[in-house]
């Protein structure tokens, strides 16, 4: 059995998908947690990949992003993100 701790990846793992959705690579972009206010680059956040994808704050563990894909569409829930900074 693989423990939950070993299933934890980081934001690099969703770089390709988010890059496709946003049209720009987000891995180095700062992202602020709605829960604790920590500001981290997307690559540093904790990522769990299962039937969907959950991105959690690496400081307070709050859920920041949820992504589910199926039936030809993508559901993107960003409720846990206070702000996402995109480079011009």
Q: Which residues bind another protein (CB under 8 A)?
A: 2, 5-13, 15-17, 19-20, 25, 27-29, 41-44, 49
CB of residue 3 to another protein, shortest distance in Å: 9
What is the strand order of the sheet 53-56 is part of?
8-10, 46-49, 53-56, 63-70, 73-77
Nearer to another protein, 21 or 79 (CB): 21
Nearer to another protein, 29 or 62 (CB): 29
- Residue by residue, DSSP assigns 44-79 as GSEEEESSSEEEE-TTT--EEEEEEEETTEEEEE-T
CB of residue 30 to another protein, shortest distance in Å: 11
CB of residue 44 to another protein, shortest distance in Å: 8
Both structure tokens of 57: 């704050």
């Amino acid at each position: 059995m693989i423990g939950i701790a070993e299933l934890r990846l980081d934001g690099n793992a969703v770089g390709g998908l988010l890059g496709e959705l946003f049209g720009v690579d987000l891995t180095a972009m700062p992202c602020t947690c709605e829960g604790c206010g920590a500001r981290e680059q997307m690559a540093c956040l904790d990522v769990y990949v299962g039937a969907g994808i959950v991105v959690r704050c690496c400081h307070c563990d709050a859920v920041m992003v949820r992504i589910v894909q199926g039936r030809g569409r993508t559901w993107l829930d960003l409720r846990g993100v206070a702000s996402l900074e995109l480079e011009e």
